[in-house]
Amino acid sequence: MPAAPARLVVLVSGAGTNLQALLDACADPAYGAAVVAVGADREGIEGLARADRAGIPTFVVRLTDHDSRDAWDRELTDRVASYEPDLVVLAGFMKLVGSSYLPVLGRRTVNTHPALSPSFPGMQGPQDALDYGVKVTGCTLFVVDDGVDTGAIVAQRAVPVEDDDTVETLHERIKVAERAMLVETVGRMAREGWTVDGRRVRLGG
């Protein structure tokens, strides 16, 4: 009997093209994972519409509905944990998870960032890479910790910067590499497991 697919919860804040890549990959039973819920920090985004079209349950936990960031973080933790995920994927989720979330779900949560860590952490990785003038940037998948894009690195892909790039063309090229990285790496994590030893992450037993 094949093992049950790994349970993925995906958190989004926007277009959800990384989510879509995971949904498409999960359509193949051999991929070894299933998206069991999609969560967001805001309503009315394409990421949630993609989940609806795929028949996946969704939930929204908005910061503005809570008295404090801690209260928001506690509700996010409870909602995500209620789906008993094997792996949580932050796929364009534009919030930092906090001190309630991390002890419960941190070790099974990965985040994708559109830069080659440790360069250019934060909300505008492609803009910062362009402004600095680097010739190569890329994307990074990491295990979340209490920093901003500082967690142990699971996978990276390099992307060249072209002379005529704008932030939009560069980010779109990064996102092509990012989707491939995410699908390949999340699939391996689901099928083979992973270990974290300090800053070193290994896929497979």
Site for ligand GAR in 150-179 (CB under 6 A): 175, 178
* Residue environment code for 7-20, b if the CB has 16+ CB neighbours within 10 A, otherwise e: bbbbbbbbbbbbbb
The answer to the question of residue 138 lying near ligand GAR (CB under 6 A) is no
The answer to the question of residue 114 lying near ligand GAR (CB under 6 A) is yes
Could you tell me the smallest distance in angstroms from the CB atom of residue 197 to ligand GAR?
A: 25
Sign of the four-CA dihedral 154, 142, 57, 105: positive
Which of the residues 50, 113, 171, 173 is marked catalytic?
113
Could you tell me the smallest distance in angstroms from the CB atom of residue 64 to ligand GAR?
A: 20
Could you tell me the smallest distance in angstroms from the CB atom of residue 4 to ligand GAR?
A: 26
Contact residue for ligand GAR among 123, 136, 158, 180 (CB under 6 A):
123
Contact residue for ligand GAR among 23, 37, 91, 129 (CB under 6 A):
91
The answer to the question of residue 17 lying near ligand GAR (CB under 6 A) is yes
Could you tell me the smallest distance in angstroms from the CB atom of residue 7 to ligand GAR?
A: 20
DSSP string, the chain: -PPPPEEEEEEESS--HHHHHHHHHHTSGGG-EEEEEEEESSSS-HHHHHHHHTT--EEE--GGGSSSHHHHHHHHHHHHHTT--SEEEESS--S---TTHHHHHGGGEEEEESS-TTSS-STTHHHHHHHHT-SEEEEEEEE--SSSS-SPEEEEEEEEPPTT--HHHHHHHHHHHHHHHHHHHHHHHHHH-EEEETTEEEE--
- 84 vs 172, beta carbon nearer ligand GAR: 172
- 29 vs 180, beta carbon nearer ligand GAR: 180
Stretch of 12-20, 35-43, 161-169, 195-203 contacting ligand GAR, by CB under 6 A: 12-20
Tell me if residue 66 is catalytic: no
State the catalytic residues.
Answer: 113
* Contact footprint for ligand GAR (CB under 6 A): 12, 14-18, 47, 91-92, 94, 112-114, 123, 125, 175, 178
